[in-house]
Each structure stands twice: as C-alpha cells, then as structure tokens.
Amino acid sequence: MFDDTTLSGKAPTLMIPALRDPDGANLDRIQVIKGWTTQAGEPKEQIYDVAWSGERKPGPDGKLPPVGDTVNVEEATYTNSIGAPYLDAFWVDPDFEPAERAFYYVRVIEISTPRWTAYDAKFFDIEMPEGTAMEVTDRGYTSPTWYTPKGTSPAQTQRASSNGRRMTPRALLRVPLRQALVPGRPSFVLSSLKRR
C-alpha cells in the first residue's frame, strides 16, 4: 500500500506494534528504514533500531548486539527462550529535514531458526556440503510511507526515471536502491510482507 503525506514540516511519527506468528519464532527487533535524497541529489539510507527484546543496549557505535542463537542444527530445532512474542515502538524521525523527500518502512526481524537444509539433513540423515547455510533469520517488511515536502507534487514520488521509462512500485523491487533513488524522488518500494 502506498501512502504519501505532506506534514507541513513536522517530523513523521510512527506507532509500530509487532506480534510473532502463533507457531513462529520470537521477535528480535523492530527497525525503521529511512531513505532520502539530499538537496544536492545524493541518495541516503539510515536504519534505526526502535524496539528490541531483552536487556540489550546499543554499543558505542550505536549498533545493537545480536539477540543470541538457540538453533540446534543437528536436531533441526530452536527454542523461543530468547526474543519476545510482542514488540512495539512509538518513533519520531530524529533527523527529519522538511525540505527533503523521504520514505520510511518498518522491518521486523525474528530470532534465527533452522533453515530447510537443516530439516532435510535431519530427516534424511545426510550431511550437507560444507558452506551450506543451516539457519535463517526471517524478516517482515511493511509498505513504505513517503514524505513529500510542501509545494511538491505527490505524483512525482510515484515515478523514477530508469533509462527514460516510468517505474512502477513492482518494477522498483527489481532495481538497486541507488538506481531507484533519482535526485529529488525517493522511489524505492518493498512489498507488504517479504520473507527470506
């Protein structure tokens, strides 16, 4: 779902609840991803950790330490003894610039679970080739919300020029971020739920 808003120069505010699937893994963290282009046309992206499980605190570099890992690869099991079944956040963009177009989307990250390769190795009693990924960290993504500065046409945020053709949100999914962000037109879009 596409949402374009003009906030009269006020910083966007997001209320974000996240609940794990009833039969799924607990949640590690909620992140807000912000993309924008500067007045000079330079594309930028910033990831904000806005809610997380446990008593972790961001380090001096601002990064949140990993939640941990409960995966038993040999047995193809995990436990929900880490993470949280529910996380929520109320977030206001701390770096908001009213004159710059921007987009925001939310990413929810689960704790690690066995990958299908671990289940197959256990079920068939086989050894996977060296280097085979045996764990996966699933993520859920929301649709974006775009901010358009006052006095700019909202329709312009739905377009990005790539080799002279109009870009639809579905086409933008196949375009690298730097190519999709045209100066003055943040146009990178993710579908409403994407699992890796």
Higher pLDDT, 160 or 58: 58
Q: Is 49 helix (H, G, I), strand (E, B) or coil?
A: strand
Q: What's the whole-number mean pLDDT along residues 63-86?
A: 96
In whole angstroms, give the CA distance from residue 106 to residue 48: 10
pLDDT of residue 45: 96
Q: What's the whole-number mean pLDDT along residues 138-162?
A: 70
Q: Could you tell me the two tokens for 161?
A: 């020029």
Lowest mean pLDDT among 40-44, 78-82, 102-106: 40-44
Q: What's the whole-number mean pLDDT along residues 146-173?
A: 51
Strands (E), the chain: 3-5, 13-19, 27-37, 43-52, 86-92, 102-110, 113-114, 135-136, 139-141, 145-147, 161-162, 165-166
Closest C-alpha among 94, 80, 103, 112 to residue 48: 94
Q: Is the pLDDT of residue 82 over 90?
A: yes
CA distances (Å), origin 46, targets 73, 95, 117, 152: 33, 10, 33, 23
* Whether the Cβ atoms of residue 160 and residue 182 lie closer than 8 Å to each other: yes
Confidence at 6, pLDDT banded by 50, 70, 90? low
**Amino acid (one-letter) located at 47:** I
Q: What's the whole-number mean pLDDT along residues 72-80?
A: 98
Q: Could you tell me the two tokens for 16?
A: 């974000």
Q: Is the pLDDT of residue 12 over 80?
A: yes
